Amino acid sequence: MNFTQFLLILKARFWIILATFALVVTTTVVVSLLLPKSYEATTTLVLNYKGMDPVTGVVLPAQLMPGYMATQNDIITSKNVAVKVVDQLGFAKSPAAQAQFNEAAKGKGDIREWFAEKLLKELTVKPSRESSVIDVSFRGADPDFAAAIANAFAEAYIQTNLQLKVEPAQKAAAFLDEQTKSLRQNLEAAQIKMSKYQQEKGITGGMGSLDVETARLNDLSSQLVMVQSQAFEAESRSKNAQSKGVASPDVALSSVVQNMKVDISRAESKLSELSQRVGKSHPQYQSAKAELDKLKKSLQEEVSNMSTSVGGTARIYQQREAEIRAALAAQKERVLQLNLHRDELSVLQRDVENAQRAMDAASQRFTQATIEGNANQTDVAILNPATAPQAAASPKIVLNVLLSIFLGTMLGLGFALLAEMLDRRVRSRDDLSELLEVPVFAIIDGKPPKSSSKRLSKSSQRLLKAA
């Protein structure tokens, strides 16, 4: 089918096209006028994302993500929010609403949830793609009612959003309160245990006494080394005094012994002189000899006393060494015990510190959760409240008429072509040629020829020449 054939079909089926077009447009206009008017009111909400929680100061993750906006969309369209709207507007208490519910649901179910589902069917939530703005729209037969419902949904959503933030914090605060009490009891028990241990072991002032006892141990060690050296030296001198006698350094250096030696030397000189002058039986000789013997005896007694004195000094040093050694052993044992006590006390102190840190952390988190639970701040605000619309949102008569014109035209053309296919007519020589599959030699249109000389058409002449 070429364009000429198409135009001939449209010309022949013009009344079908016109009737279809008129029927579609008229029906659309009538239906649009008969349909009840619906008004749409829109409340605009904005999510005030600041990147930081206003109560805790904790940096929050980016909220302006598709997942976050989709979550807010689901919250607004939830039955929980819708039930809050029903309660806020008092539908369940209205006699007319109760009668409508009884008629529609036969009194079965919950009237609040029934109205909530009806409201959700007319609710539209449209989040913005490039910003944190959400449009909450509601359609109704009354413009004031539609605006009231849209604003009620916005308020209910804000309350629900705040509730979703506050309720977990309140539950966490109650849990942390119990935990804080338990941790405080643990801290008190750890402190009592540490104090009792200090009292039992006599530990005061922390572990500073360990340093004092350690210093005393070091001092005793130094004293022991010194006394051991002194005892060894005294023992050596005692042995020399006992074995060498007057030749011993301690005895030889004694002033008494030296004086006695001088006296003995004098007595010996005197006795030697007397022996040259008188005989041994002479009284002077006997007296001088007796004096010399007396001096020698005194010297021996003095040497013996000196040896005994040196030996006593050695015994004193040995006794002192034994005492210091015993004190050192006792001090070592005390230091070891203090080390053990220090280790035990360190464990108890760590228990107290851990219990203190745990209680401090729980107390801090409890305070934070309590503040969050009592907060009335939310990150949602009403940017533009809904107002009663002046024009109806539907039906849109102009748009419907334009669509009916397009649809009527398409249907008219379709019906015209369908009628032509069901009742095929010859409307041009092309139709005849296609139908009979023979060439057309001439066209008789019922009009007299303009010239008698033209008896054959050009096409007929071409066919004759070809034959």
Residue-wise pLDDT tens digits, 363-383? 888 888 777 777 677 778 888
pLDDT at residue 450, as a whole number: 56
Cβ–Cβ < 8 Å for 362, 179:
yes
With a CB cutoff of 8 Å and minimum separation 6, the contacts of 464 are 456
pLDDT at residue 156, as a whole number: 92
pLDDT at residue 54, as a whole number: 44
C-alpha span between 13 and 418 (Å, rounded): 10
C-alpha span between 6 and 4 (Å, rounded): 5
Whole-model pTM: value is 0.53
Res. 189: pLDDT tops 70: yes
Res. 98: pLDDT tops 70: yes
Model confidence band, residue 467 (pLDDT cutoffs 50, 70, 90): very low
Within a domain: 150 = yes
Within a domain: 104 = yes
The whole-number average pLDDT for the span 385-410 is: 80
Model confidence band, residue 24 (pLDDT cutoffs 50, 70, 90): confident
C-alpha span between 96 and 421 (Å, rounded): 59
Per-residue model confidence as pLDDT tens digits over 209-241: 667 777 887 887 887 788 777 666 656 555 555
pLDDT at residue 456, as a whole number: 46
Cβ–Cβ < 8 Å for 85, 116:
yes
Within a domain: 114 = yes
Res. 317: pLDDT tops 50: yes
Tokens 């022991």 identify what position? 224
For the chain, what percent of residues have pLDDT higher than 70?
69
Per-residue model confidence as pLDDT tens digits over 237-281: 555 555 554 445 555 555 665 666 677 777 777 777 777 777 777
pLDDT at residue 71, as a whole number: 84
Within a domain: 97 = yes
Within a domain: 73 = yes
- More confident of the two residues 274 and 451: 274
Separation in Å, CA 36 to CA 80, 387, 396, 448: 30, 20, 11, 65
pLDDT at residue 163, as a whole number: 85
Structural domains counted in the chain: 1
Res. 151: pLDDT tops 90: yes
Res. 43: pLDDT tops 90: yes
pLDDT at residue 209, as a whole number: 63
Model confidence band, residue 64 (pLDDT cutoffs 50, 70, 90): very low
CA angle, residues 304, 305, 306, in degrees to nearest 5: 90
C-alpha span between 21 and 404 (Å, rounded): 8
Domain that holds residue 25: 3-175+375-406
pLDDT at residue 52, as a whole number: 47
Within a domain: 422 = no
pLDDT at residue 197, as a whole number: 80
Within a domain: 228 = no
Within a domain: 91 = yes
Model confidence band, residue 436 (pLDDT cutoffs 50, 70, 90): low
pLDDT at residue 153, as a whole number: 92
pLDDT at residue 154, as a whole number: 92
Res. 120: pLDDT tops 60: yes
pLDDT at residue 136, as a whole number: 92
For residue 156, which of 75, 97, 93 has the smallest C-alpha distance?
A: 75
Res. 37: pLDDT tops 70: yes
- More confident of the two residues 14 and 80: 80
pLDDT at residue 162, as a whole number: 85
Per-residue model confidence as pLDDT tens digits over 338-365: 778 777 878 888 888 898 898 888 888 8
pLDDT at residue 44, as a whole number: 92
pLDDT at residue 452, as a whole number: 44
Per-residue model confidence as pLDDT tens digits over 276-313: 777 777 777 777 777 777 777 776 666 666 666 656 66
Q: In what order do the strands lie in the sheet with 39-47?
A: 123-127, 133-140, 39-47, 380-384
pLDDT at residue 1, as a whole number: 59
